[in-house]
């Protein structure tokens, strides 16, 4: 007869949890690389690239050719852009870019792509 050992149950539960988290990260990474790949394709066709991070982040590092329009200024500074043109926005993680994308859509921009984060964009650069 096998005795019940809490440590075995804990080990099995931990392994299941690790497997689930690993698969979730794989899906998340696949989605992330898909959006940055889409961004690079749009940029190759002439899209405008906008970095929506802070000035300090932008000055530290940014993608070549990027315009700097901080998220806090996107609704006022984007007026100088053509709303019919394709725009790619990025930030550190993709969160601020998501907010910028929504703001630009609300302003009438038809084609806005969230490229995700800076490192994500750099990693998928063709």
Domain count, the chain: 1
Within a domain: 85? yes
Within a domain: 73? yes
Q: Is 35 helix (H, G, I), strand (E, B) or coil?
A: helix
- Residue 22 pLDDT: 46
Q: How confident is the model at residue 125 (pLDDT cuts 50, 70, 90)?
A: very high
pLDDT surpasses 80 at 56:
yes
Tell me the C-alpha distance between 11 and 61, whole Å: 43
Within a domain: 28? no
H helix or E strand, kind and range, residue 91? strand 86-91
Task: Report the 10 Å Cβ neighbour count for 88.
Answer: 28
Judge whether 118 counts as a catalytic residue: no
Within a domain: 18? no
Within a domain: 117? yes
Residue 109 lies in domain: 33-123
Q: How confident is the model at residue 34 (pLDDT cuts 50, 70, 90)?
A: very high
For the domain that residue 102 is a member of, what is the CATH number? 3.40.250.10
First to last CA, the chain: 60
Within a domain: 108? yes
Q: Which of 66, 87, 89, 91 is catalytic?
A: 91
Within a domain: 8? no
Q: Is 117 helix (H, G, I), strand (E, B) or coil?
A: strand
Q: Are 47 and 86 in contact (CB under 8 A)?
A: yes
pLDDT surpasses 90 at 64:
yes
Give the E-state strand segments of 1-126 in sequence order: 48-51, 67-68, 86-91, 111-117
Residue 78 region by backbone torsions, left for phi larger than 0, else alpha for psi between -120 and 50, else beta: alpha
pTM of the model: 0.76
Within a domain: 92? yes
């Amino acid at each position: 007869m096998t005795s019940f050992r809490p440590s075995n149950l804990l080990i099995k539960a931990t392994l299941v949890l690790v497997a689930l988290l690993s698969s979730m990260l794989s899906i998340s990474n696949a989605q992330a690389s898909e959006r940055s790949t889409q961004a690079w394709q749009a940029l190759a066709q002439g899209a405008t690239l906008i970095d929506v991070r802070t000035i300090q982040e932008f000055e530290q590092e940014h993608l070549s050719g990027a315009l700097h329009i901080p998220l806090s200024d996107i609704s006022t500074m984007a007026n100088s852009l053509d709303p019919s043109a394709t725009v790619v926005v990025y930030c550190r993680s993709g969160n601020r870019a998501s907010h910028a994308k929504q703001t630009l859509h609300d302003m009438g921009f038809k084609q806005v792509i969230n490229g995700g984060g800076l490192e994500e964009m750099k990693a998928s650069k063709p």
